[in-house]
Amino acid sequence: MSAGTVVTLGETMALVRATEIGSLRHAHGMALGIGGAETNVAIGLARLGVAVSWLGRVGDDSLGERVAREIRAEGVDVRAVVDADAATGLMVKERPSVASTAVHYYRARSAGSRVSASDLPDGWIEDAALLHVTGITPLLSTAAHAAVVAACDRARSAGVPVSFDINYRSALASADAARPVLREIAERADIVFGGEDEFAILYPGASAAEAAALLRDAGCATTVVKQGPAGATVFAGEAAVESPGFVIQAIDTVGAGDAFVAGYLSGLLEELDLAETLRRANACGAMACLVPGDWEAAPTRRELARFLTGDADPVRR
């Protein structure tokens, strides 16, 4: 695949995270940051040396400035459309117990949900190496849905590969309501990422392998099944390649799937073989779980190399 800029679009919100274990009813310390699936991927790619550009709407407020500043500081080309008529969305994350995380969203009618096809600059997609989108953005609003579909159609017309992470969020829509939206985009994509449960949303009753075959019939060349600690499987054409996961002591699993996608896409852009691409993706996903936050532990090339060579003491399954 040719070198160039990866482009992505979607909502990134301000993030308030409890700094201690327990219910928010009793939390005393909170940390402020940002988070959003598409920018988690963008930051992960940037840290791995890939040129990447993100577009989204933010409010004309301090939190919107925080979102744009943080992403730009990570080396991502930021195209933040400032919306004077809506506030920047907010998510709040708590750790009710050592083994659980709960995320609460305050994003109804947020600036990020108002992204539209008219926000997409001429040539931005057409000149890209790859477009990455998720199933979160098209479920935010009618305008956001239209923006993602328009972006995919423009990419396909220009011969730009489309990457799609299903990333289903039950807080945004029921599985039945989300299905036609998610399938519409998946069947426009060249690469589709998801967990086994997410592929079952696209095609009820189908296994991941059966969903991959259905997507292949629709024109999708590659299906990547994320299996968490167990690793991942990629279906490309008639081939299926598996790669084991890494044994780690997870601190925060939120954002692990996005780090996995960044690792996979970076390997794809470097034209690594499927086995090595999956190994990198699994390593990035595992490393993202080692530090609290949605993207903070996304590895650099040096950190990734240390992890993969055993300097970080990983244990392969």
Give the catalytic positions in this structure.
Answer: 258
Q: Is residue 317 part of a domain?
A: no
Q: Is residue 314 part of a domain?
A: no
Report DSSP state, residue 298: P
Report DSSP state, residue 25: G
pLDDT at 313 (0 to 100)? 53
Give the range of the structural domain holding residue 257, as residue numbers without chain letter: 6-308
pLDDT at 316 (0 to 100)? 46
CA pair distance 66, 64, nearest whole angstrom:
5
Local structure of 251: helix, strand or coil: coil
Q: Residue 272: which CATH number? A: 3.40.1190.20
Number of domains in the chain: 1
Q: Is residue 315 part of a domain?
A: no
pLDDT at 312 (0 to 100)? 53
Backbone angles phi, psi at 261, to 5 degrees: -60, -45
Tell me the C-alpha to C-alpha distance, in Å, between residue 107 and each of 6, 15, 89, 286.
26, 11, 5, 28
Reported pTM: 0.94
Q: Is residue 1 part of a domain?
A: no
100, containing H or E segment: strand 100-106
Contact 289, 260 (CB under 8 A): no
What are the mean pLDDT values of the chain's consecutive 10-residue runs (317 residues total)?
83 93 88 96 98 98 98 98 98 86 91 98 98 98 98 98 97 96 97 97 95 96 94 92 91 90 98 96 95 90 93 51
**Measured distance between the N- and C-terminal CA atoms of the chain, rounded to whole angstroms:** 30
pLDDT at 38 (0 to 100)? 98
Q: Is residue 185 part of a domain?
A: yes
